[in-house]
Structure 1
Amino acid sequence: MDLSNRTVFIVGGTSGIGRELARRFTAAGSAVAVGGRSAEALSELSDEGIGTFGIDVTDGASVARARDAVLVRYPELDTVVIMSGVMLLEDLRDPVHFEAAQTTIDTNLVGTIRVVDAFTPHLVQRGAGTFVTVTSGIAFLPFPPMPTYAASKAAVHAYSEALRAQLDGTGVSVVELVPPAVATAGQEKVNPQALPLDDFAAEVMQLLSQNPTPDEVLVERVLALRWAERDGTYDDLVAKRSQALAMLPSRQG
């Protein structure tokens, strides 16, 4: 992928990985727009010269409005990155977890599908373009305190595989970005050993720039998670990660 002349819309790019990738695509020479819910963050990005649009991926009407506005301003849009996601702790022994599960699925999985559906006709009509879906190493090696997060990202992985197969021959590619724990505001609290954001973003941009761009963008730190089952380390790693269940409030003390 030539990063110097893309027209990119990053959904959920107002913070963390999405925001950093927006800045890096811009620095590489691409035209970049970001969508999100935080008016303050969108204003800050606008001040940096990045296009901004309000969007809530849990609301189909909001997604449609954002799509229409983006395509008016950026008719040459060729890359849609879907970053929106939530990470919520759940204790499955407590029925109140179900609300968190619903929120997670509606944002991470159904939200991704809403955005893909909104922009597929445009990209297919162009005959060229790229969807970048975002999963997680947790899709392949669950983190037990976040069961629905793991399930939602595993589902986005499977959906990405099917989407790639269905779009074959249209000129539209599907790239799956698979982050490990990255040191953003959310991950720092969960894992102090998380990969620094700058290091992660630099490696991602290098991988995206390859020709051909890999179907899965896997930084070095995520390989142990992605291939744990193949490598025979899955059971041991899940057992080790299960120690984190102690972080659930109901299991403390």
Structure 2
Amino acid sequence: MVKLTDRTVLIVGGTSGIGRGLARRFVDAGSTVIVGGRSPEPQDGLETVRIDVTDPDSILRARDDVLDAHPALDVVVTMSGVMLTEDLRDPAHIAATETTIATNLLGTIRVIDAFTPHLIARGAGTILTVSSGIAFLPFPLMPAYGASKAGVHAYTESLRAQLAGTGVEVAELVPPAVATAGQEKVNPAALPLDAYLDEVMELLATEPTAHEILVQGVLMHRWAERDGTYAELLERRSQALNTLPNR
């Protein structure tokens, strides 16, 4: 169970979308929340810190600022991510690939590295990574996004194993499509943000803490291979490739 009250929570990538919604839920539950982003704007009830997860120096400055102001920090959430389409027939796609991997995977690892020594020294705390249903059932229009989120999942599994016995728990949030950042316009199946967060907060409060925070809407993706629906769903998702130029 992730205790939701009286925590000090840093949400990197919490200035919009799911991250900001999660920040509000932690505040409502009685926790202190700091949200990080490249250009954070003041938000009622939330503290902010400037952080660019593609810049190692920016991460270390943010770490020092946060820990100086909040030495009791005990929850770190890594939300930063980009979703970019790529045409793998065009070698120019590599720029989008590099941006995606630098932000979604290396950014996650760097943030975790920055705060893990602090949490271990406390002997208690929570690291919450964020992958995606696309980590388990690719969306071919966004190949590097799926690869980066699969990487986050694998890294989280290893992190949990390596931190066993330290008092630091590691959980992975696995969102489906959620109606933020225009998702509702391109994906009618995207879950309303509040409904998604209702499920997430309930799951976080369940004892023991699940290794993966899976709402009902993501189960078909998470378990597609086990359930024998993987090939059919992947073919369906591949239809989006028709939106690429010259297809």
Q: What secondary structure is seen at the aligned counterpart in 1 of 2:220?
A: helix
Structure 2 match to 1:12: 13
Identify the residue that residue 67 of structure 2 maps to in structure 1.
71
The 3-state SS of whatever aligns with 1:96 is helix
Deviations along 1:122-167, one digit per CA (max 9) or x if unpaired, are: 0000000010000000000000100000000000000000000000
Q: How does 1:25-44 map to 2 (within 5 A)?
A: 25-39=26-40, 42-43=41-42
Letter in 2 for 1:165: A
Unaligned 5+ runs, structure 2: none
Q: For residue 172 of structure 2, what is the aligned residue in structure 1?
A: 176
From 104, 122, 126, the equivalent of 2:118 is: 122
Q: Write out aligned runs for 1:176-215 (5 A).
A: 176-215=172-211
Q: Report how far residue 49 of structure 1 moved.
A: 2.2
Cα deviation for residue 55 of structure 1 reads: 0.2
**TM-score normalized by the length of structure 2:** 0.98
Q: CA RMSD in A?
A: 0.9
Equivalent residue for 1:95, pick from 83, 91, 98: 91
Q: Partners in 2 of 1:207 and 1:250 — Cα distance? A: 44
Taking a change above 3 Å as real, the CA distance of residues 250 and 111 of structure 1, as seen in their structure-2 partners, is farther
Q: Percent identity?
A: 69
- Correspondences of 1:134-173 after superposition (within 5 Å): 134-173=130-169
Q: What is the alpha-carbon distance in structure 1 between the residues aligned to residue 120 and residue 112 of structure 2?
A: 11
Task: Using the TM superposition, give the Cα deviation of residue 190 of structure 1 relative to its aligned residue in structure 2, in angstroms.
Answer: 3.3
Aligned counterparts of 1:90 and 1:239: Cα–Cα separation in 2? 17
3-state secondary structure, aligned to 1:241: helix
1:81: which partner in 2? 77
Task: Evaluate the alpha carbon distance shift between residue 155 and residue 186 of structure 1 in structure 2; reply closer, same or farther with a 3 A threshold.
Answer: farther
Secondary structure of the residue aligned to 1:205 is helix
Query: 3-state SS of the aligned residue for 1:20?
Result: helix
List runs of 5+ in structure 1 lacking aligned partners: none
Distance 1:18 1:146, change over 3 A: same
Distance 1:250 1:103, change over 3 A: farther
Moved more, 205-214 or 83-92: 205-214
Compute the displacement of 1:191 (Å).
1.2
- Structure 1 residue 239 displacement after superposition: 0.5
Please give the secondary structure, in 2, of the residue aligned with 1:185. coil
Instruction: Note the C-alpha offset of 1:232.
Output: 0.6
AA of the residue aligned to 2:198: A
Normalised TM-score (structure 1): 0.95
